[in-house]
Amino acid sequence: MAFLEPSGLQGPSAYRAPGEGRSTWLALASEIDPEVARYFLVSARCGCFMQAARSLNIKATLLRKRLAQLEEHLRHSLFTYQGNGLVLSRDGQQLQAQLIALAHERRLPVTEQPLIRLAVAEPILHDILGRDLIALLRRNASVRLEIISIDSQLSLQAVEVDVVLWLSDADGPVPGPSFVTEPPRALARLQYLPHIAKRYSRLTTRPDSVEDLDDYMLVQWQPDAQVGALQPWNRVVEQRLAAVVQVHAYSLMLEMIRCGACIGLLPHYMSSFDRGLVALPGLLAESMQRQVWLAVNAQVEDAQAVRMIVELIVSTFEGRREWFD
């Protein structure tokens, strides 16, 4: 197998085979580029190239190539497999010991990652964006990301972040964040409908009028009670003298609908998100709609890192376009 000329090794002594002496390993360890040394130490600590690459925020193929170059020019194998586990060889253990010793004398550089603050409307975070954010973190374990859930207009106004994703009641982005942003971008229009779990309602007996709701318990996510665009449903809930439950956790409302035989108001995409839920169109004469907006703070410290988050959000919505059409 041919190897590329390594940029991580310096000096002619990097090309000679190490002897068994401790002093020789110390000399070679001191000449290894700090970045390559870090690659080696993280791989040794993780015992897995894939996990090490995630921690270093690089591709696993690049990591393995740089370590292969290191092994080639040291002319010693540094890693070996025992079963399914990756462990250090005897030479790898000697190199690790010398690099750790050197770390007390010189601090191996740790690349500081910029802190990105992301604020997202709670339903969007739970239903649409959560899985892709988890996938992003699995690919980039060194990312510094603060995720803030927005459950009301008050909480939207109370934060200043790098990227914000919120819901408005009108065609425009107002009311929006309190800080100055770049021009907001409309991502989707959501229609809201009452939903019920299929397991608790047969097609022929599902309610098709407000009067039919008397036979069912209603559940409402409390922050929705303050949303003007959802007033047709809110009036129905307010008129209830019994068989109604108010919850402050969005996930609990979903569980009440899924498992508690309740009817609750949800965005129309929920039947795509959860095949066990079905919308009940025609119950209310008035349409209820909200719009999803994305904006970036006008002053961000690391534009590239913020762009990565924005591209993830836009890609997520584009990939689920059929949910909103």
Sequence ranges of the domains in the chain: 12-103, 115-324
Separation CA 52–CA 40 (nearest Å): 9
pLDDT value, residue 248: 95
Residues 6+ apart with CB under 8 A from 73: 6, 9, 14, 15
pLDDT value, residue 111: 65
What kind and span of H or E run contains 139? Answer: helix 130-139
CATH code of 12-103, in short, is 1.10.10.10
First to last CA, the chain: 52
What kind and span of H or E run contains 86? Answer: strand 85-88
Partners of residue 192 on adjacent β-strands: 267
CB-based burial, 98-110: b 16+ in 10 Å, e otherwise: bbeebeeeeeeee
CATH code of 115-324, in short, is 3.40.190.290
CB 207 within 8 A of CB 283: yes
pLDDT value, residue 128: 95
Q: Token pair for residue 323?
A: 């949910």
Residue entry with tokens 């209820």: 288
pLDDT value, residue 231: 96
Average pLDDT by stretches of 10, the chain with 325 residues: 38 41 73 87 89 86 91 87 85 87 62 86 95 84 88 89 94 89 95 93 78 90 94 95 94 95 95 93 91 96 91 95 90
Neighbours of 316 (CB within 10 A): 19
CB 193 within 8 A of CB 316: no
Q: Token pair for residue 147?
A: 């995720």
